[in-house]
């Protein structure tokens, strides 16, 4: 009877330890994912700092993309500018700016994005720009 009790205790202990290892593994995966999202938020700020719209001669609809030099490997970004004024005259000068940061490989690729509305009226020269005019 004692041998059966010991074997039963070992089986129960093994199942409990397996559950604890699984829970610890999932907790570490959540921490890793949270760290990646926090880094992605910083990389979104870095895209705006390294590629400011204020330096463009003219704001136009389109998409730009790139990587992070000196940053984490395998990370990239895209920035899409949609012009609402083309379809609706009342929304002339209104743009939707979507910036996305990607990381990971293959099917496990993840993304964080920031979406902003941007109003850029035409200046006296008829150009939509955020670039300050130097006199």
Boundaries of every domain in the chain: 2-119
108 phi and psi, to 5 degrees?
A: -95, 30
Count the Cβ atoms, other than its own, within 10 Å of residue 30.
10
CA–CA distance from 24 to each of 13, 30, 38 (Å)?
16, 10, 21
Residue-by-residue pLDDT tens, the chain, 135 positions: 799 999 999 999 999 999 999 999 999 999 999 999 999 999 999 999 999 988 888 898 999 999 998 888 889 999 999 998 877 878 888 999 999 999 987 778 899 999 999 999 888 888 888 887 776
pTM of the model: 0.75
Interatomic CA distance for residues 119 and 97, integer angstroms: 10
């Amino acid at each position: 009877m004692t041998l059966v009790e010991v074997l039963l205790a070992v089986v129960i202990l093994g199942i409990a330890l397996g559950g604890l290892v699984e829970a610890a593994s999932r907790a570490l995966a959540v921490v890793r994912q949270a760290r990646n999202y926090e880094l992605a938020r910083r990389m979104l700020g870095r895209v705006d700092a390294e590629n400011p719209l204020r330096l463009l001669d003219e704001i136009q609809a389109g998409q730009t993309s790139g990587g992070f030099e000196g940053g984490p490997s395998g990370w990239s970004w895209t920035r899409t500018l949609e012009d609402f004024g083309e379809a609706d005259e009342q929304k002339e000068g209104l743009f939707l700016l979507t910036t996305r940061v990607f990381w990971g490989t293959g099917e496990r690729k993840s993304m964080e994005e920031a979406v902003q509305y941007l109003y850029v009226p035409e200046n006296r020269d008829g150009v939509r720009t955020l670039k300050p005019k130097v006199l």
